[in-house]
A and B are shown apart, each in its own frame.
Chain A
Amino acid sequence: NAGVTQTPKFRILKIGQSMTLQCTQDMNHNYMYWYRQDPGMGLKLIYYSVGAGITDKGEVPNGYNVSRSTTEDFPLRLELAAPSQTSVYFCASSYRTGMNTEAFFGQGTRLTVV
């Protein structure tokens, strides 16, 4: 099983550019999440989704957008990249009632904005 797959693994963006971080899971999980992790810091929730067509803001949503058109995919869009968005981004998914089941994480996307 592939689990949670994120692409790309690394990316360098210039200030003001836009990009989409891709996340797909093959476990038929309803819940999906996007986190960012800054050096030495914990995981901050950006956006999450409880099912196709439903998304909601997390702790740090500013500067990001998401969509969930299918169960499998949960892309994260960065518009007008800023140096403050330099971080490692993790996508995760869990089955049905998210709090009662483990979350599976992708391998992360390391993004640098210069």
Chain B
Amino acid sequence: QQPVQSPQAVILREGEDAVINCSSSKALYSVHWYRQKHGEAPVFLMILLKGGEQKGHEKISASFNEKKQQSSLYLTASQLSYSGTYFCGTRGGSQGNLIFGKGTKLSVKP
């Protein structure tokens, strides 16, 4: 079951904050977050492995609520370089395959 991301798209001004959500109808064991810039391959940001875990990567952080089966990615004081499409990934089956949501397109304007 593909995870569901919201919103589909976000437009920000430099310095503004954004939150991207990822939820699943199935139990979440871990959540991956990736960013893809136009015409490039997805690049890993972080993995959250436990319920309640929070992680940070520069001014980008994430939380994982196992009970609610959701994760959120927080982008604070956004920079132009944050523009791209953000994907969350979760386990799709027992063998640990990795399936992704449809992505959230983030555009940061000057």
* Interface positions of A (Cβ within 8 A of B): 31, 33, 35, 41-43, 45, 48, 50, 56, 58-59, 90, 92, 94, 97-108
A-chain residues with CB within 8 Å of residue B27 when the two chains form the complex: none
* B93 closest partner in A (C-beta): A56
Q: Does B100 contact A (CB under 8 A)?
A: yes
Q: Quick one: which of A50, A92, A100, A102 contacts B95, CB cutoff 8 A? A: A50
B-chain residues with CB within 8 Å of residue A42 when the two chains form the complex: 2, 87, 100-103
B-chain residues with CB within 8 Å of residue A103 when the two chains form the complex: 32, 34, 44, 89, 98
B-chain residues with CB within 8 Å of residue A90 when the two chains form the complex: 41-42
* Residue among A45, A50, A107 facing the most chain B CB atoms (10 A cut-off): A45
A-chain residues with CB within 8 Å of residue B44 when the two chains form the complex: 102-104
Q: Is the CB of B30 within 8 A of A99?
A: yes
B 66-110 binary contact with A (CB < 8 Å = 1; else 0): 000000000000000000000101011101111111110000000
Q: How many A-B residue pairs have CB under 8 A?
A: 69
B-chain residues with CB within 8 Å of residue A56 when the two chains form the complex: 93, 95, 97
Interface size class of B (residues with CB under 8 A): 20 to 34
Q: Does B49 contact A (CB under 8 A)?
A: yes
* Residue among B42, B87, B89, B103 facing the most chain A CB atoms (10 A cut-off): B42
With A43-B42, A90-B41, A108-B41 as contacts: A102 and B47 at CB distance below 8 Å: yes
A-chain residues with CB within 8 Å of residue B40 when the two chains form the complex: 107
Q: Is the CB of A43 within 8 A of B41?
A: no
Q: Quick one: which of B42, B87, B98 contacts A98, CB cutoff 8 A? A: B98
With A90-B41, A90-B42, A103-B32 as contacts: A45 and B47 at CB distance below 8 Å: no
A-chain residues with CB within 8 Å of residue B42 when the two chains form the complex: 43, 90, 105
